[in-house]
Amino acid sequence: MRQLTGADDHHVSVETPTQPQHTLKCMILDPAGAHEPITFERLRTWAAAVLPHVPPFRWQLAPPPMGLGHPFWFDRPELDIDYHVRATRVAAPGGHAELATALGQLLGGGLLDRSHPLWQLWLVEGLADGRVALVWKVHHSLADGVASVRMFSSVLQHGPDEHPVVPEARLPNDPDPTRRRLLLPALRSLGPTTAQLPALVNRSLRATRVGRARRREGLGGPARAFDSPPTRFNRKFTMHRTCAWASLPMQDLKAVRDAFGCTVNDVLIAVCSGALRSYLDRHGELPRTSLSATIPVSIRKEDELDDYGNRLTSWFVTLATDVPDPVERLAAIHAATRGARESQTARHSETLVDEWMGYKALWRRWIAFGNTAAGFARRPSFNVIVSNVRGPEPLWFDGAPIVEIVSVGELAMGLGLNLTGWSYRDRMAVGGSACPEHVPDLSDLVDGLLPALARLVQAARGAPASLSDA
């Protein structure tokens, strides 16, 4: 049994029927090379035998006794396979659009049942060219992007000749988490956090002072909250979700990076910005001021890879959607991400939000304050979420190569559009999610990613040595 961290508990605490906190990882397989036919029964047998040996797949949630502190994970290796492993079939002809429709239905298909470990695995059949998809529906409290890569790399194979192996290790099976069993560890966890609060307050105040000094000196920093214009992406969430994705060549992303001396993350953000600008302009909704984005950034260390859960900070950056020229837009985004990174380093604030999440009552009040402030300001804190995860090395499922991985993220905190890029093999799939009532044509928005990248590739052919020279 283990207690959730504040960051993991955050995803449990903020979850509502209109703000589910699960993500999807869609793995498209070519079953032609499989050692055995990939059937629903075979998938059920494999999942029951293999998945409990990776801790998050057997963790079940137990609420804290009397609301003291954070919930607990307790081990339940005997899975209800009828709940966890399911199947569906996409409509003909089983192409990109039909799979995206199925992903939207799974993402918006209700909350994961907390009386089970918080995940499901769906076999999606009926895809074109005889392909199938494995769609993992996983609660964000179990794993962020880096931890998800670790999970899937642990249960899948790394070559076409490998077979699934069932570990022989004996699995832990915790007793029922009664209030009496949980009360003592819950009380013990309160002491250290209480003792650390004064130091955390002092560090936070010092970080605030440093941030203000940097602004007075004209140095870079994060985008300001509530300075962003209201958009269709910032309306009240519904219970429904729509999904779409585009596949970007990694060689093009890297060519732009190398030409302009920035990062792949900068290029991805600029591509998303270009698609957003074009989409809003077509709808006559392009604000005169720039949209902004929350950029999740991993702070996980090498010795924390097996901890799973969440180890993230966030950068808040302008998307420069008010800048028509794509290279100038990329330059503004590069400056914004560099400023956000340098500001965090100067303020020693990389872990502050993660630590404040450990104080559940205070953190809830901070969230409530943010919601109230957004209402009074009639502006969102920020507009969208843009995330970039380096995916795993090539993977196989019992001889069948996984040819593409699409990650679809959750909506949260009034940010009603999530664009998540996962690099895998030689491409980056950028998955988008939104409420269909607000963005009924999400595929139109996501289809703008490739043209936005093409404009940057074209500009890169005659690019100067760096963005500062552009």
Backbone phi and psi for residue 135, each to the nearest 5 degrees, phi listed first: -115, 115
What is the pLDDT averaged over residues 161-190?
90
Average pLDDT across the chain, whole number: 94
When pLDDT is averaged across residues 415-437 and rounded to a whole number, the result is 97
What pLDDT sits at residue 79? Answer: 96
Q: What are phi and psi of 299, to 5 degrees?
A: -120, 20
The class level of CATH for 189-391+409-469 reads: alpha beta
CA distances from 19 to 64, 236, 367, 393 (A): 22, 10, 14, 31
Q: Say if residue 470's pLDDT is above 80.
A: no
pTM of the model: 0.95
Residue 468 or 126, more confident: 126
Q: Report the chain's terminal Cα–Cα distance, integer Å.
A: 55
Residue 467's pLDDT is 64
* Rg, C-alpha atoms of the chain: 22
Rounded mean pLDDT, 209-223: 88
Range 181-195 average pLDDT: 88
Is 189-391+409-469 the same fold as 2-166+175-181? yes
Catalytic residue among 140, 158, 240, 348: 140
Average pLDDT on 365-378 reads 82
Across 276-291, average pLDDT: 98
| Whole-number pLDDT of residue 327 | 96
Q: For residue range 415-425, what is the model confidence (pLDDT) as tens digits? A: 999 999 999 99
Q: Look at residue 368 in the predicted model and tell me its pLDDT.
A: 85
For strands 384-390 and 292-298, give the pairing. Answer: parallel
DSSP β-bridge partners for residue 62: 72
The CA–CA distances, whole Å, from 66 to 97, 187, 192 equal 47, 11, 19
- Do the beta carbons of residue 95 and residue 443 sit within 8 Å? no
Give the pLDDT confidence score for residue 105 in this predicted structure.
Answer: 97
Tell whether the model's pLDDT for residue 167 goes beyond 70: yes
Judge contact between 403 and 30, C-beta under 8 A: yes
Per the model's pLDDT, the better-predicted residue between 336 and 66 turns out to be: 336
The tokens describing 74, both together, are 């307790």
Domain boundaries, the chain: 2-166+175-181, 189-391+409-469
Residue 190 has pLDDT above 90, yes or no: no
pLDDT surpasses 80 at 463: no
Q: Is 136 left (phi over 0), alpha (psi -120 to 50) or beta?
A: beta
Note the Cα 438 to chain centre separation in Å.
21
Answer whether CATH 3.40.50.10190 is correct for domain 2-166+175-181. Answer: no
140 is catalytic: yes
pLDDT digit string, tens, across residues 312-333? 999 999 999 999 999 999 999 9
